[in-house]
Amino acid sequence: MHFKNVDTTKELPVMENFYTIQGEGAHSGRAAYFIRLAGCDVGCVWCDVKESWDSNEHPLVSIENLLLQVEKSETNFVVITGGEPAMYDLTTIVNELHIRKIEVAIETSGCYELNGAIDWYCFSPKKFKAPVEEAYQKANELKVVIFHPSDLAWAEEHAQKLNPDCKLHLQPEWSKQDKLLPLIIDYVKSNKKWRISLQTHKFMQIP
């Protein structure tokens, strides 16, 4: 669910926002300010932030307020995630962050066309809802969560549709990491275009 009448030039539904370390994917280890928007209709069974799905359970926060908090952190990198952040027009907040010389990334399932001049597009497709075609064109990074061994072949299907410069990551689903990580390690050793992404923030016990 998501707010149908939100004026995204002024406010966005926010589950949480905080300054931390990016724990996974191509920017793993980098200091980043996270803005987690509320609202998602993809419905991943293994989602670890299901409380983000219903945006009506979270407040609308003014873009002005978000920008003040981002500026206070003195970050140079903002990650907009969710939920499914591409459900909303991100043009205003991204433009305002760019005015402040801040790089902006999005983490998205690619199910919606993107509105906003994002610098880094992390595409994490899900089986529960098909991505739009533009996701393959925009993706700087493909991050596929591996929940079952068959997901490796599914990841390859998506990789074939991407531009050759897109970085490819396989990430074990956290609760099955002990079982799946050895399989992923062997796969990456045999398929060198892929890299392994781990949720290092969980190892570090930070948000």
DSSP letters along 2-24, please?
A: --SS--TTTEEEEEEEEEEE--S
* pTM exceeding the 0.85 threshold for the entire prediction: yes
pLDDT at 4 over 60: no
**Residue pair 185/196 in contact by the 8 Å Cβ criterion:** yes
Please say whether the beta carbons of 17 and 34 come within 8 A. yes
Residue-wise pLDDT tens digits, 56-79:
778 899 999 999 999 999 999 999
Averaged over 22-36, what is the pLDDT?
95
Q: What would the mean pLDDT of 163-177 be, rounded to a whole number? A: 90
Is pLDDT of 12 > 90? yes
Q: Which domains does the chain have, with CATH numbers?
A: 11-203 (3.20.20.70)
CA distances from 69 to 13, 34, 52, 112, 167 (A): 15, 11, 20, 27, 31
